[in-house]
Amino acid sequence: MGLFRVEPFWQVILSTLGLAPGSLARRAGLTDHIFFPQAEKVDLEGWAALWDALAKEVPRPTLALEIGQALSFDAFDPALFATHCAANLREAAERLAQYKPLIGPCRLNLAQGRDLAIGCDVVGMPYPPTLWGLAELVVWVSLARHCTATRIVPKRVRAPVLPSDPTAYTAFFGVPITQGPRFEVVFWARDGERPFLATEASLWQFFEPVLSRRLAELEAQTPIQERVRAALFELLPTGQNQLAQVAKRLAMSSRSLQRRLAHEGTTFRKVLEETRAQLATHYLKQSELTSAEIAFLLGYDDPNSFFPAFRAWTGITPEALRAASP
């Protein structure tokens, strides 16, 4: 998956919670200097370990609420500050979805429709750290309320793992968190279009070229098969598994995508099957989803198609793999 810098907002988190950077880094099995601006980067496991370490260092049920409400969008990162240049919440989400790869392994998946549905994902992790996911949901609701000066109540909030003490979260969101396949907050259409009161729209002319250049440089350094895999993580649960659909998500033609994959010695079909196999194995080992539900999340129209495919990938049945898992 590559390496990522530790996001600048960790300085806000550490300051708010009064934590020593070195202590938290060591608990995560990382070097003491990862929070420095020019520090070495971390891989996906290190990124996740940092969130898990924070959950252990501060074992409060409301920790995600504290983090989400403490983060200041206009203080620490140009990609995040771009949300303040938006006219409304929908435009802010669209911009951050485009530029979030500049921040780390996290992605936003915006569903089409009248309501504004924001799915928070981590590339390569079907089940990201719970603390991170809950904090992301809190951040989005906090942003909506701050920028509109309105106590917006989302239509729906979902998470793969529910908080151990849901009372405080229900009070904050205004609706209970329900269980779902991903961290997702859905805003009513009227709230997605509600104007931001203190938008910095004039600054967008400055930020947009800078961010676009940084994004182009990042994409040029990322193998195309990794970008295809990242797109599939987002598209498969929506039933989209075709070459043309992935090419559209990556803003290129199907022919160009095929050619670039061939240059890396692979094919779209191979990357698709590898991604499905990875996801299926993770779902079977780490969740209680049924085989039919897993088939749906892998983009199969017919659950019966999942069983022979899984046997071809692994040589065993889904039930056998789940039974053998600790």
At 175-234, the pLDDT tens digits run 999 998 889 999 999 999 999 886 655 556 655 666 667 666 666 667 888 888 878 877
- Amino acid 232: pLDDT: 85
Give the mean pLDDT of 13-41.
83
CB 67 within 8 A of CB 59: no
Handedness of CA 228, 49, 62, 9 (dihedral sign): negative
At 102-155, the pLDDT tens digits run 777 888 888 878 999 999 988 777 778 999 999 999 999 998 998 899 999 999
Q: What is the pTM of this model?
A: 0.71
DSSP letters, 252-308, are S-HHHHHHHHHHTT--HHHHHHHHHHHHHHHHHHH----HHHHHHHTT-SSGGGHHH
Q: What percent of the chain has pLDDT over 70?
A: 87
DSSP 6: P
- Amino acid 251: pLDDT: 80
Domains of the chain by start residue, with CATH: 1-59 (no CATH), 73-222 (no CATH), 223-324 (1.10.10.60)
At 218-267, the pLDDT tens digits run 666 678 888 888 788 778 877 888 999 999 888 889 999 999 999 999 99
